[in-house]
Amino acid sequence: MEVSIDLTHVMGKFIKDQEYQMIKSQVEDASDMLRSRTGPGSEFLGWLDLPCDYDTEELEKIKEVSEKIRRQSDVLIVIGIGGSYLGAKAGIDFLDNTPLQSGSNQETEVLFAGTQLSSKHLQNILDYIEDKNYSLNVITKSGTTIEPSIAYHILKSKLIEKYGEEEAAQRIIVTTDAESGSLRQEANEKSYDSFVIPDNIGGRFSVLTAVGLLPLAVAGYDIEMIIKGASVYAYNSRAQGVKENPSLKYAMSRNILYRKGYHVEVLANFDPRLKSFAEWWKQLYGESEGKDGKGIFPASVNYTTDLHSLGQYVQDGKRFLFETMIQIKNPGLDLEISESDQPDEGLEYLEGKSLNEINDKAMMGTLYAHVDGGVPVIVIQIDEVSEYVLGQLFFFFELAVGVSGYINAVNPFDQPGVEAYKENMYALLEKPGYEEKTRELKEKN
């Protein structure tokens, strides 16, 4: 495996060996429950075996449609919110330094819309694509989520205005439910290229389906290697016990810390390529664990930048948080501080050192300081930045959160709390069917 875990900086000072021994059976039971599909939410465990049993026809279709998009478009606009876009963006930003696939004839930019309700953000996209050829990939299972629905309505109108209905239909790709919903009906009527969001895979676990893989393929990345990385991790993890499996060790450690009062987990990186990955992680863990009055609050920081803003709080603030740092052991491109006959004052000690070396020392310095200051630090190590490692990293966190949720006695695969704001918003907008809720909210005002 290209993903490993280092617990050196939590064991002893923050977690005693006996605590691992006492929770071990709970982790094993949770893992068994997940594998045997006997726990709550088991109808949404399609992601568990997906990498190992990937539909080759589906993979070929994703590649064919992505090449079509790349031939005809300068820009692909992915329209979706939450799990419909976070995984794709996480992967694209993570892999931004890898070369395009050999033989590709065009570099196509991937943009994201429908992630918010900002007029300015959508207008910026409209202005940007005005003189470009573009396609749309709208991703939503229900077809009624308000943010992507509005963006799709506006962008589709502009697409038809520019190309006409017949050619516009060749530039719209729909990823939605297999049978029901307005988008499925539209895709069937207009003969759009379309993909299915499987019924047994929730949105936040859908990154290894067409939801995440199509945008990644359009961006020029090797989706077969992403699947291969995930499948190797998934296959190996089946035979590993608590002592060997990185996901189980991660789930166990964070739950011990949670029970000791560390209620916030900060995912920290020292490379901006991981910034969007943290956004994907926050949804995965926040929606999976934050329910029934329980759960670790997921936050993120981008070091060394945030050491100059949030660093003071992490170092000396209230002790209710722990950090999980992602370390890239071989980050790739490196720059060296050259030696000079007239060195810059104060930088002489850096001459001959590389920027990666300096960044690594910054990470270790931060880690030691935070541990000394009373912050437990878990380190997730990845060997390099590649499609193969990305697949492993996705599956590492998905497996861990499934086990972690069961340890904490919650269903990690539903999200009942997400609907509350939607009901209020629909009522305030006087959507048909919400009349009683509308009256209730008006009375509150």
Residues designated catalytic: 287, 422
Rounded to whole angstroms, the Cα distance separating 23 from 440 reads: 46
**Under DSSP, is residue 111 helix (H, G, I), strand (E, B) or coil?**
strand
Rounded to an integer, what distance in angstroms lies between the CA atom of residue 99 and that of residue 169? 31
Both tokens assigned to 51: 């990498």
Which residues does 244 contact at the CB level (< 8 Å), separation at least 6?
Answer: none
Q: How far apart are CA 26 and CA 9, in angstroms?
A: 23
Rounded-to-integer distance, Cα 283 and Cα 273, Å: 18
Q: Give CA–CA dist 190/245, Å, rounded.
A: 47
Residue type, 250: Y
d(CA 220, CA 233): 23
Chain centroid to Cα 331, Å, comes to 20
Measured between alpha carbons, how far is residue 25 from residues 11, 28, 32, 411 in Å? 19, 5, 10, 19
Cis peptide preceding 176, ω within 30 of 0: no
**What is the per-residue DSSP string for 316-370?**
HS-S-EEEEEEEEEE-----B----SSPPTT-GGGTT-BHHHHHHHHHHHHHHHH
Q: How many CB atoms lie within 10 A of CB 389?
A: 24
Given phi > 0 = left and psi -120 to 50 = alpha, else beta, which region is 164?
left
| Cα 322 → chain centroid | 20
Q: What is the DSSP string of 201-224?
A: B-GGG-TTSHHHHHHHHHTT--HH
User: DSSP 3-state assignment of 426?
Assistant: helix
CA distance 372 to 375: 7
Distance (Å, rounded) from C-alpha 353 to C-alpha 357? 7
Q: 416 burial class (0-12, 13-18, 19+ CB within 10 angstroms)?
A: exposed
